[in-house]
Structure 1
Amino acid sequence: MFANLTFEHPQWLWLLTVIPLLILWAVLSHKKKYSSLLLSSTKAFQGQQSLLAKLRPFLLVLRIAALCFFIVAMARPREVDESTEVKKSEGIDIVMSVDVSASMLAKDLKPNRFEALRQVAKDFVNQRPNDRFGITIFAGESYTKTPITSDKEITLKAIDGIEFNDLIEGGTAIGMGLATSVNKLKESEAESKVIILLTDGVNNSGFIDPVTATELALEYDTKVYTIGIGTNGEALSPVAVRGDGSYVYRQVKVEIDEALLKDIAQQTGGKYFRATDNEKLKSIYDEIDKLETSEVEEFKYYNYDEKFRLLILIGLGLICLEQLLKFTVFRSFV
C-alpha cells in the first residue's frame, strides 16, 4: 500500500519529534488549570468520579492528533506511479564472416575451433536484441550463409550450421570473405555497419585480394573487427581423411597472418584480436559487444497522487470535533 509513497518536503517530519514534549507540557500544566479543594476526608467521594472527568484528556488527544496530521500534510505525501517507455534505435547491422577451412577442426580450442565459435557467437547474437545479423563463410571461395535479418532464430540456426564442407574449394580467401560481407552491407541504412571476420590462416586463395576488399569496406563506411583464432605454436589439426570419413590428426604449426588482419582492422576503424583459447574467444566477443553499443532512449513518466489534502481535512475534522466537545459535552470542565 505504501510502497510508492514519497514525501516532497520530508524535512517537516522533524516537527513530529516535538509532539512528546507537548504531551509532557500538557500533563505538567494540567493541574494549574483547575482549583483545588482541601477536605479533611475524601472517603465520601470515593468511587464517585464522573465519567466525563475521566474522558477529559480525550480533548488533548484530538488536538495532538490533528497537529500530527497537519505536520505530515506539510511534508506533502504522495504516491508515485512511474512508467517507462523505451525508444529503440535502428541498431547495428553486423555480418559475421567465418573461415570454414578444414583447419577450423583443430583441437587447440575445445572441443574444436568450430564448436567453440558456435557457442560464443550464439551468445553474442542473443545479447543484442536490437541488431540485425548476416553470416558469410569462406575457405578457398566465399558464400552467403544467411542474408542480414532481424530474425534471431534464422541467425542462430545458421550459426549451428557453420562447419567444414569439403565441397567448398580448399584454401583461405580472406579477401573474398571480406568483400562478400561488404556486399551484404552496402545497401544497409543502419547508422553503424560492422563486420566480424574470423580466420585461422593466411590469405592464399580467391580472386579478390584483401587490400581491395578493405578499400570496399572503407568506401561503404564499414568497420571491420578481425579475429585470429588458434593457439601460439602447434595445434592438433586434421591432415587427412580415412576411408570411413574420420580425420587423421597431427600436430601442425599454427600460421595466422596477423599483420594483414591488424591492417584491415586499423584502416576500417576496427580492432584486431587473437583468440588462443575458449575463454579468450569469449572475452573478445564480449569486448566487441561493449565497443559496438546500440543507442536506446528511455523516457520515464511520473504520475503523482497527492495525499496532503485528505490529511488536512482529517486534521480540521479533529479540531472541529475537539471544539464541539469542548463547548458542549465538556463545557463544565474546561
Structure 2
Amino acid sequence: MFRFEHTELLYLLAIIPILAFVSLIIGRRRKKALERFGNPALLEPLMPGASSVRPIIKFYLMLLALTAIILTLAGPQFGTKLETVKRKGIEIIIALDVSNSMNAQDIQPSRLDRAKRAIFQLVDKLQNDKVGLVVFAGQAYTQLPITTDYASAKMFISSINTGIIPTQGTAIGAAINQSVRSFTSQEDINRAIIVITDGENHEDNAIQAAQAAAEKGIKVYTVGMGLPKGSPIPVPGGSKNTFMKDNQGNVVISKLNEGMLVEIANAGDAEFIAANNIRKGMNDLVDHLSKLEKSEMEAKIYTDYKNQFQYMALFALLFLLIDFIVLERKNKYLSKIKLFEEEDEK
C-alpha cells in the first residue's frame, strides 16, 4: 500500500505547470524582441556561443528537480505490515448510474460529475465503515469490492465515465441485486445500498428488488440526480451543441423520475434524497446512515509504513547535477567536434 504522509504538500505541484506556462510566455517575448533587431539567421553568426536549446533544457531539468523535491517533502511511504483489526461500523454499497443520460447538464457540470462529487463528500464523512461501488446502465457490475480503503474508493470513483458499460439503459433492479451480492458474508451487521441515478428508463422491477433487499435487513436509499424539467443529452465525443435524438429526429429530453425513486426508497425501507444541493443532500444521507446501529467488523489495514523519500531525493539530486553540468552557452571545444561531417577533399 502506497501513500504520502503529508498529502497537503502535493498541492505545491500546481506550481509546476504555472512555471512552465510563464517560461513559455517569456521565451516567446524574447524571440519577438530578437526578431526586432533583424533576421535571426543573420544574427546567429554574431552570437556563436548562444544556444536556444540549452536554456530550455536547463529550465525543465529544474522543473523535474522541483517536482522530485516536492514529492520528497510529501513523504512517500509503503505499507509493510498488514494487520486484521476490529472496528464498529456498517457496510455501504454505492450503486452509480453511468448511462448516457447522466451526461445531461441540467445540474452543472453534469449529473455524473455532480454525483461523483457527492460520493467524494460521502466517503469523506465515513468513519470505520466499509464501502463498495457498483456501476450500472443496461447491466450492473461491481467496480470496487467492499473495503475500508477510502483512498482506493476515491481513485475508482474519479475514473468512472459513461463509456465503461456498453449496454445502455437504467437497470436499477439489477444494480440493487448486484449490490446485495457484493456485501460480505458476515452476519449481524447493518447494511445500506445507495442508488444514485436520474431514475429514467428503468428496465426491470426495481421496486421488487428493493423489497427483497429490505427483507434481508438491507436499506435501499435513492439519490436523485437531475431536475424534473430535464435537459438534452450531449452526444459522447460530439461537439458542444450536439445532442442525442430519437428515431424521429427529435432531441431527447432526459428528466428526473423522482416518483420512481421515492417508490424504490419506500420499498427499500429507506429515504429518497434530492441531491440538487450536494452539501445538504449528502448531510441528510449521512444523518440517516449514522442512525444505523454500528456492528463490530474485521478489516485488514496497514499499520506500519516505511519511508521511501530517499528515492525521490536521489532523483532531485540527479536532475540538479545534470543541470549544473549543462551550460547555457555552447562549449567552444565540443562544438569543434563534427562526427557526421565529411572532410573536404584536398
Query: Structure 2-normalised TM-score?
Result: 0.53
1:193 to 191, 194, 210: 191
Deviations 1:225-250 (A, max 9, x none): 111211121324224654x8x78237
Deviation for aligned residue 1:179? 0.8
**Contact 1:135–1:147 under 8 Å retained in 2:** yes
Q: Do the aligned partners of residues 141 and 220 (structure 1) sit closer, same or farther apart at CA in structure 2, a change above 3 Å counting?
A: same
Change (3 A) 1:292 1:101: same
Q: Select 1:210's aligned residue among 206, 209, 229.
A: 206
The equivalences for 1:218-233 within 5 A come to 218-233=214-229
Given the alignment of the two structures, is residue 281 of structure 1 paired with residue 278 of structure 2, yes or no? yes
Aligned counterpart in structure 2 of residue 248 of structure 1, from 218, 224, 242: 242
Residue aligning to 2:98: 100
Tell me if structure 2 keeps the 8 A contact 1:241–1:248.
Answer: no
Distance (whole Å) between structure 1 residues aligned to residue 153 and residue 216 of structure 2: 23
Q: Which runs of 5 or more structure 2 residues have no equivalent in the other structure?
A: 1-84, 245-250, 296-346
Q: Which amino acid aligns with 1:238?
A: P
Change (3 A) 1:188 1:106: farther
Find the structure with the greater CA-based Rg: 1
Counterparts of 1:144 and 1:166, CA distance in 2: 12
5+ residue gaps, structure 1, are 1-86, 297-334
In structure 2, the CA distance between the partners of 1:209 and 1:129, relative to structure 1 (3 Å rule), is: same
Q: Which residue of 1 aligns with 2:262?
A: 262
Alignment of 1:14-25 (within 5 A): none
Corresponding residue for residue 305 of structure 1: none
In structure 1, the residue matched to 2:122 is 124
For the aligned residue pairs, the C-alpha RMSD in angstroms reads: 2.8
When the two structures are aligned, how many residues end up with a matched partner? Answer: 204
Change (3 A) 1:138 1:221: same
Q: Which secondary structure does the structure 2 equivalent of 1:223 belong to?
A: strand
Structure 1 window deviating more from structure 2 (163-172 vs 216-225): it is 163-172
Answer yes or no: is the 8 Å Cα contact 1:99–1:139 preserved in 2: yes
Query: What is the aligned partner in structure 1 of residue 312 from structure 2?
Result: none
Q: Where do residues 1-334 of structure 1 align in structure 2 (5 Å cutoff)?
A: 89-165=87-163, 167-185=165-183, 187-189=185-187, 191-205=189-203, 209-239=205-235, 242=238, 248-249=242-243, 252-275=252-275, 277=276, 280-293=277-290, 295=294
Aligned sequence identity (%) = 29
SS in 2 for 1:249: coil
Structure 1 residue 132, shift from structure 2 partner = 0.6
Give CA deviations for 1:9-36 in whole Å, capped at 9, x if unaligned. xxxxxxxxxxxxxxxxxxxxxxxxxxxx
Residue identity matched to 2:128: N
2:137–2:165 contact (8 Å) kept in structure 1: no
Q: Is the 8 A contact 2:94 2:132 kept in 1?
A: yes
Aligned amino acid, residue 219 of structure 2: K
Matched residue of 1:146: which SS? strand
Residue of structure 2 equivalent to 1:56: none
